[in-house]
Chains A and B, each alone.
Chain A
Amino acid sequence: SAVISQKPSRDICQRGTSLTIQCQVDSQVTMMFWYRQQPGQSLTLIATANQGSEATYESGFVIDKFPISRPNLTFSTLTVSNMSPEDSSIYLCSVASGTSEQFFGPGTRLTVL
C-alpha cells in the first residue's frame, strides 16, 4: 500500500491563528480525504479533497474554517483557520485508489491554547 506522510506531526498553536497540515503520498492516488479525531472519540470525515476542484465538505464543516487544496494526485493540504481550543484534535488524511479501502496517514496532533 501507499506510504503516507503528514507534516507537522504535532503542533501547539494560539487561538485565532491558522495551521496548514500537509499530506504527501508516495504514489498517485484517486481519492484523498481529511478526517478529524477529537480526544477520546472516533473519526469524522471533514471533506473529500478533489484534484483540480473545490473540496466536498461534510455537514458541519465549511470551507472558510477548513480550506483544502489538492494540486495533484499525491499531495493535499488542510488549513484549520481562526483556531479555538475546540479545534484541538488529531487530523488524519486518508487515500484510496481503485478500491474502496482507505489507508491513513500517521496524523497531526493539534493543541490550541
Chain B
Amino acid sequence: EDQVTQSPEALRLQEGESSSLNCSYTVSGLRGLFWYRQDPGKGPEFLFTLYSAGEEKEKERLKATLTKKESFLHITAPKPEDSATYLCAVQARDSSYKLIFGSGTRLLVRP
C-alpha cells in the first residue's frame, strides 16, 4: 500500500535557526514527490516536484531533496513568515494522478 509519513508533527524554531523536515514514503513506482505549503484557512500552495533520487530543488530559503525512500525539506535561516504546515505527497506511476498526502509538519518560526 502506498504510504507517506512526515516527521516531526510539529517544529518550533527561532528565526534564523535552520532545520529539516522529513518525508518517508513507500510507493509502487514513483512518478513524483510533491511539497506543498498550507496556511491556516487556505488551500495548499505548490512548492516543488521531485522525480528521481538525487534530484534537488530550491526556492528562496527552502531546498527539497529526494532519495529512494525519503525526501527532506531543508529550511535555511527561516523567518516568521515561513510558519505554516508543510505537506508532502507522492504520486504513483499508474494510470491515475492521485496524490497521497502525509499528515504534514506544522512549523512555527518565532522572531
A residues adjacent to B (C-beta < 8 A)? 1, 4, 31, 33, 35, 41-45, 48, 56, 58, 92, 94, 96, 99-107, 109
| Closest CB pairs A-B (n = 3) | A104-B43, A42-B101, A43-B101
A43 to chain B: which residues have CB within 8 Å?
Answer: 44, 87, 89, 99, 101
Docked-complex contact B103 and A45, CB < 8 angstroms: no
Docked-complex contact B98 and A100, CB < 8 angstroms: no
B96 to chain A: which residues have CB within 8 Å?
Answer: 48, 56
Q: Assign chain B's interface to a size class.
A: 20 to 34
Docked-complex contact A44 and B101, CB < 8 angstroms: yes
B98 to chain A: which residues have CB within 8 Å?
Answer: 33, 45, 48, 58
B36 to chain A: which residues have CB within 8 Å?
Answer: 104
Would you mind naming 22 contact pairs between A and B with Cβ atoms under 8 Å apart? Answer: A1-B46, A33-B99, A42-B104, A43-B44, A45-B98, A45-B100, A48-B96, A48-B97, A48-B98, A58-B98, A92-B44, A96-B97, A99-B49, A100-B49, A100-B91, A101-B32, A102-B34, A102-B46, A103-B46, A104-B45, A106-B43, A107-B41
- For the residues of A in contact with B, the DSSP-based class is strand
A107 to chain B: which residues have CB within 8 Å?
Answer: 41-43
A99 to chain B: which residues have CB within 8 Å?
Answer: 49
Q: How far is the CA of A99 from the CA of B31 in the complex (A)?
A: 11
Closest to B44 in A: A104
Q: How far is the CA of A92 from the CA of B104 in the complex (A)?
A: 16
